[in-house]
Amino acid sequence: MKKTNLLVLIATIATLGFFSTSCKKDATGPRISILTVNGTEITKSTGDTVKVTLDSTVTIKWSVTAGTKAPTSLVITQNAITVKTQTNADSIASGKYSTTLSTAGNVLFSVSVTDKNDSVIQKTFVVKVAAPAAAIKTYSATLLYAPLASGAQKCALATSTGSTYNQADAKANASTIDILYFYGSSATYALGCPADALTTAYNDLSTWSVQNTTTFVTTSANFASITTSADILAAYNNGTYANNGTGANKAARIYNLSTNQVVGFKTAAGKYGILQVTNETGTDGTGAYIQIDVKVQQ
């Protein structure tokens, strides 16, 4: 009888133990209560995107709330590579990590917290690093004069450097010359190029070692708003060919320009540019000049 009672007692204890374990409340894990990247709070576990420019310093700040067990580590990864590990309680609870991103593209970060119960909470986010806008060169208040018989006036422009030349020096630097200025009775305030056979004011063009072709378009683009290489290209592509020349080079000259007019151009080197007339004066070939601001792709 005693043996039977003992077996019943063991069975009862085992049963009670089973129910005690089964009904035990699950542990609460840690929580990343605040996570910001450059001041932008990450509120979802994945999919958040923060945009920065190239060579920006990205600062990740966090605040962790413990669950039923104390956190033991905080790990930050960048494209699946661990870049920061914190095991100090205070540093896990709050802190920051900074890094400079010098490659364009998307960078995947994750912040993970583990506690003594091996509970893990993780937040991931993407930092989108924008490629820099292609640089442009700007030349302001460039003066070009109508060529004189003496050849003394600066009438030629090398858009790659912004340098202006008189006829003799332009010929010596023929490979760099993209734009020539001239003034005629029916072609007032005109721009052409060395390959433009109608640029008759330059009588020795046929003797130049290089006669570059520049193509001109009229465009309604806002000159002041053009700040990147892509802006210049868009302004040119949206323009209308000048068609002031003849034959194969119909777009190789543009004339009757006026103040504030905007012109797009493409050089023989394949560089696109845009210019705006800021002033023009003179009514004959000897005293006429044009003033332009120029922006060109590097």
Give me the percent of the chain exceeding a pLDDT of 90: 59
Nearest to 200, CA basis, from 255, 120, 268, 157? 255
Provide the pLDDT for residue 225. 95
Tokens of 247: 């034959």
Q: Is 97 helix (H, G, I), strand (E, B) or coil?
A: strand
Confidence bin at 66 (pLDDT 50/70/90): very high
Most confident of 8-17, 131-140, 161-170: 161-170
Instruction: Note the pLDDT tens digit of each residue in 265-276.
Output: 999 999 999 999
Confidence bin at 149 (pLDDT 50/70/90): low
Token match 């072609």: residue? 187
Instruction: Note the pLDDT tens digit of each residue in 225-269.
Output: 999 999 999 999 999 887 665 545 668 888 889 999 999 999 999
Between 287 and 71, the more confident residue is: 71
Instruction: Decide the pairing of beta strands 272-281 and 262-266.
Output: antiparallel
**Mean pLDDT of the region 156-185:** 92
- The answer, as to whether pTM is greater than 0.75, is no
Tokens of 133: 């806008």
Residue 172 confidence (pLDDT) above 90: yes
**Mean pLDDT of the region 123-137:** 87
Residue 211 confidence (pLDDT) above 50: yes
Neighbouring CB atoms inside 10 A of 58's CB total 18
Confidence bin at 141 (pLDDT 50/70/90): very high
Give the full edge-to-edge strand order of the sheet including 272-281.
136-145, 289-297, 272-281, 262-266, 215-218, 240-241
Residue 115 confidence (pLDDT) above 80: yes
**Mean pLDDT of the region 282-296:** 84
Of 22-31, 83-92, 129-138, least confident by mean pLDDT is 22-31
Provide the pLDDT for residue 185. 72
Provide the pLDDT for residue 170. 92
What structural domains does the chain harbor?
A: 31-130 (2.60.40.10), 136-297 (no CATH)
Q: Is 100 helix (H, G, I), strand (E, B) or coil?
A: strand
Provide the pLDDT for residue 111. 97
Provide the pLDDT for residue 288. 82
Gap between the Cα atoms of 21 and 33, Å rounded: 30
**Mean pLDDT of the region 92-118:** 95
